[in-house]
Structure 1
Amino acid sequence: MGERAGDAGMRVPATEQGGTLISTIRRRMPYFNPALRRIAEFTVQFPNRVKSMHISDLADNCEVSQSTITRFVKEIGVRSFQDMKIAIATELSQAPAEVSEDGDQARVYEDITESDDHETVIRKIHFRLTDTLNETLMQIDPAVIKAAVDAIESSQLLAFFAMGSSTLAVENGLTRFLRIGKKCLFFKDQGVQQISAVALDPTVTAIAISNSGRTQPVVRALETAHDLGARTICITSFPDSPLVKHADIAIFTPSTSVPLGRPEYHESMVSKIAQIMVVDILYSAFAVRNFSRSITKLQETNEYTKSTRFI
């Protein structure tokens, strides 16, 4: 298949200017090797503990050496372990109260609890969505987007694979690309998805979307597409997931948007916002590259669909 553009996606971006230390660690987490990623995950999950830990305690909890902790500190652009602890403590003290408090309360959406009133719910949802979009912006590599658009442009058909809430991003992609004349294929039925993957060939670009990268039907479909010679793209949050192994081009979204100080670490409900953002970027970059044709097709579809609306 030639050079795997997904490898380009594994390049660690330069240290970001501005932003918080924890958000920087989150953005860079997918690009770390397994040992550094364990430290990053522990730090993001338990910042209240890390800010008071000795370097040997953190090393023991992450099952790494103290020298690996030192390397991690350098990787995130901090001079020393002590400076990292001070930065985390400062960040926690300045974080909005509604998203930094600990607790074991049941939650129905991110950090929404039973005691939250309507105003608090609105404020928390806004914060989570904005934070997710900002982290996605900082993490996306333009070189990987270019490689993905190259693959999309060179293909005769886009075949999408996803399950559950990740299908929201697929439905968005279908609407976007079909409106500008790019042929697309997607079946919600998982059995039919598997069958459709067998029918792919090198004229097709397959796009699989899975936050965890471990959804078995999606992984198997992309593997089949890859084996049959189709160009493969995945949108996921975890570079060590099975899905990435079968992708020529891997686009990584933030691995978590769990609020600071919260112990749980799971697939975020707002991660779908990041997926939709990536799909919109791919669509827009492709449309700009084929601007005249895209405008013509948009005008044609607008003319057709306006008859379906009440005046």
Structure 2
Amino acid sequence: MDEIATDNRQGILTRIRWKAGYMNPALRRIADRVLKAPDEIKAISIKDLALQCEVSESTVTRFVREIEVQSFQHFKILIAEELSQGSSSTPPITDRHVYEDITDQDDTASVLSKVAARYAMTVADTRAGLPAEALEKAVLAIEEADVLGFFAMGASLLCVENALLRFMRVGKRCLFFRDLGIRKFSISTLGPKSLAVGVSNSGRSISTVDSLRQAKAQGTTTLAITSFPDSPIVRHADICLFTPTVTGVIGPAEYHESMVSKIAQLQVIDVLYSLYAVRNFGRAIEGLERTSDVTALTRY
């Protein structure tokens, strides 16, 4: 029962879109087929889906289990329910959302409830969806890097500021420039032993995507933190960590500057920092103690 509740709460299409980036090619083909036309999945047989995706029926069953659903039949039910809820609850095109799903029809209590619910859901879903293997790979890249170069735009800068504070305090060299021109120059200073980290919820911010592309082209290891496995930034990332912050699984996948997405980004950075600090405990403690005098000067 808990599994069913979780799937319904998060949204099965959101779960598929989010997990697709971690799937092998066969499972990814199934995910892409489902997301391309979810309305066709409601009545499809497991045999037909397997044929369309050029996989075995057992692979389709494995895909269903990968997205934490009990059976193929239950999977189709969840798809049908979500599509039905989307068509019945989607507001008219004239409605405007000022923040996630908040409109001018929401009162104080409704706004408070919606914001709190989205934050809580984001934290829980991020925790549930970060694979240990991907985290280990990212932490190893951080350990081996001579310098961490960060690239982000807009509200994703909040994530970078958090990363700079965390990693610099434990003695890790970091590089980041707000000026776009200097930022482009800084890429040339990264080498094969460096790690370039691009943070973009949509994965489509031109400056961030181009920075990772250029860094990868000159042999730098690249890490992307994004919500969309099919976004341009993923093509230039050696390592990807996906955040479950896709807004609106019915209709357009992207949302202008989703602020809730930043909670997930901050969570990912804190997890990476904590793993790094635990694995380099002595150095981390020394760094924290060394910089504590600096932070003490900022407080009365």
TM bucket, shorter chain: 0.7 to 0.9
1:36 matched to 2:31? The reply is: yes
Residues 42/128 of structure 1: CA separation in 2 closer, same or farther (3 Å cut): farther
Asked whether the equivalents of residues 214 and 243 of structure 1 are also in contact (C-alpha less than 8 Å), the reply is: yes
Residues 89/238 of structure 1: CA separation in 2 closer, same or farther (3 Å cut): closer
Measured after TM superposition, the shift of residue 214 of structure 1 is 2.2
Residues 243/264 of structure 1: CA separation in 2 closer, same or farther (3 Å cut): closer
Which of the pair has the greater relative contact order for Cα pairs under 8 Å at 6+ separation? 1
Please point out which of 90, 115, 133 is paired with 1:143: 133
Matched residue SS, 2:192: coil
Matched residue SS, 1:160: strand
**Matched residue, 2:75:** 84
Asked whether the equivalents of residues 232 and 248 of structure 1 are also in contact (C-alpha less than 8 Å), the reply is: yes
1:239 matched to 2:229? The reply is: yes
Letter of the structure 2 residue corresponding to residue 40 of structure 1: L
Q: Larger deviation: 30-39 or 220-229?
A: 30-39
Asked whether the equivalents of residues 152 and 200 of structure 2 are also in contact (C-alpha less than 8 Å), the reply is: yes
**Matched residue, 1:283:** 273
Please point out which of 149, 152, 155 is paired with 2:145: 155
Measured after TM superposition, the shift of residue 115 of structure 1 is 1.7
Number of residue pairs the alignment of both structures matches: 277
Measured after TM superposition, the shift of residue 285 of structure 1 is 0.6
Q: Which runs of 5+ in 1 are unaligned?
A: 1-15, 44-48
Please point out which of 265, 273, 281 is paired with 2:253: 265
Q: TM-score, normalised by structure 1?
A: 0.76
**Matched residue, 1:11:** none
Q: TM-score, normalised by structure 2?
A: 0.79
Asked whether the equivalents of residues 55 and 66 of structure 1 are also in contact (C-alpha less than 8 Å), the reply is: no
Q: Which runs of 5+ in 2 are unaligned?
A: none
CA–CA distance in structure 2, aligned partners of residues 239 and 264 of structure 1: 15
**Matched residue, 2:106:** 116
CA–CA distance in structure 2, aligned partners of residues 230 and 89 of structure 1: 44
